[in-house]
Amino acid sequence: MFERYHDVLTHLPEYSQNIFRKGYFKWLWSQCKGWGKFSYFLLTFNFVLQIISLVQSFSQTPFESILTFIGGNLSVACVLGISNLSGIQGWCGAISAICIAITGFMARNYATAFEQLGYLIFLDLFCILDPKWNDNIQVEKFESASEWFKYGFFFVISWICTYFIFSFTNDPRVFLDSLNLSMAITGALLELNRKREQYYVFTLASVFTIALWTQTMLQGDGNFALIFSYSIFFLNDMYAFFSKNSWFRGPLSKKA
């Protein structure tokens, strides 16, 4: 489960050269090309929704509105990048994670804030550094029922731990908040190991995160931005499940 972390950390000097190689920024730009039409539609549709949210909330909470606008757009770009096997997801995920983490702390959704910092440290940075993720993406399926059990057990233990920890804070939504964090940890581990089954976890996580930020907004601690972005995540997941052109149902590898 943790082989990718060990590989990157034990070869960190070599892997760090991945972001300093010649033509890196040109390569990053190329990773935004060749996506499916539905992905570009979702990217544009989300941008329109984020502008609506920004205009609606800016006069009341300008700083939070700008943060969620940036985080909402880049988080969708990150998820669509993953769907299209694009290496751009590392940087989009890292920047959006910082924005959403700050928003989470402001809204007292502490587990969600730490979720985003976890994405940044344990997923986004590794995906940026790891050329095996970026340059030769191989998506794999679970090979046995034991893998389901292994990751399922990991999820249960992580939820028990996160609920226990954040129950000592003044988090007003600790049940949903800790649930989202544990699902995110499990999904991130699946993604880092390039397991196709990550989509089951992230789809459920989208539903519960929409519920969390809806409750947050109704209690006066948020706006529509992250509700919109996670709704786009859910639409993208549905496309992955049912479209023959998605990597979830189609080929399991792509050369970048």
Residues 6+ apart with CB under 8 A from 61: 223
For residue 138, the SS3 value is: strand
In a domain, 7, yes or no: no
Four-CA torsion 249, 2, 161, 75, nearest 10 degrees: -50
Q: In which domain, by residue range, is 90 found?
A: 34-255
- The predicted-structure confidence for 32-76, as pLDDT tens digits, reads as follows 888 888 899 999 999 999 999 999 999 888 999 999 999 999 999
pLDDT digits (tens, 9 = 90+) for 74-99: 999 998 888 787 888 889 999 999 99
Helices (H), the chain: 3-10, 12-16, 24-30, 37-57, 62-83, 89-106, 110-119, 125-129, 131-134, 145-166, 174-192, 198-218, 225-242
103 or 127, which is more confident? 103
- The SS3 call for residue 209 is helix
Q: How many domains does the chain have?
A: 1
Confidence of residue 250 (pLDDT cuts 50, 70, 90): very low
